[in-house]
Amino acid sequence: MEKILVSACLLGIRCRYDGRSVPNDKVIALSEKYSLIPVCPEIYGGLPTPRTPSERVKDRVVMRDGSDVTDNYMRGAVAAYELCRTLGIGLAVLKAKSPSCGKGKIYDGSFSGALVDGDGVCAEYLTRMGIRVLTENEIDELL
């Protein structure tokens, strides 16, 4: 069975900043055809749950209280890639809009809910390392 790296919150794991999950039926249905490997890059990077929300601001990631958590985000991205490399994973389905997992559009750093073009830190790193990244909104072709 082909393996897919998946944002753990999409599988119902309560790892979001607010201690909640966002289970996605389509993503969960992928388990009928693929072996799903859950990952939460923010937790892999050493952040707790729940945690203060963060957003990307240019090349940094900051919490709403101003704390710089860029290093945590990078550490989590590298760990997610290491998992892909070790397990031979070439495809990831990651949570849209997240400062870690988002692809194409992410929150703009103002903590207002506004979006801007860009990728989350993990999605960007995985893409650079040759992993194909899709959001949960782009997986019809896999079902």
Of 136, 132, 142, residue with least CA distance to 8: 136
Angle at which helix 70-87 crosses helix 121-128, to 10 degrees, equals 40
Dihedral angle of Cα 15, 35, 97, 116, to the nearest 10 degrees? 150
The span of 25-33, 39-47, 57-65, 126-134 binding ligand SF4 (CB under 6 A) equals: 39-47
Residue 9 found at the interface with ligand SF4 (CB under 6 A): yes
Residue 40 found at the interface with ligand SF4 (CB under 6 A): yes
The span of 23-31, 40-48, 106-114, 131-139 binding ligand SF4 (CB under 6 A) equals: 40-48
Residue 100 found at the interface with ligand SF4 (CB under 6 A): yes
Taking the least distance from each CB to ligand SF4, the nearer of 21 and 142 is: 21
Any bridge partners for residue 55, and if so which?
Answer: 62
Give min distance, CB of 89 to ligand SF4, in A: 15
**Cα–Cα distance list, 67 to 41, 42, 51, 71, 122 (Å):** 18, 15, 12, 11, 19
**Residues of the shown chain interacting with ligand SF4 in the complex, contacts defined by CB under 6 A:** 7-9, 15-16, 40-42, 95, 98, 100-101
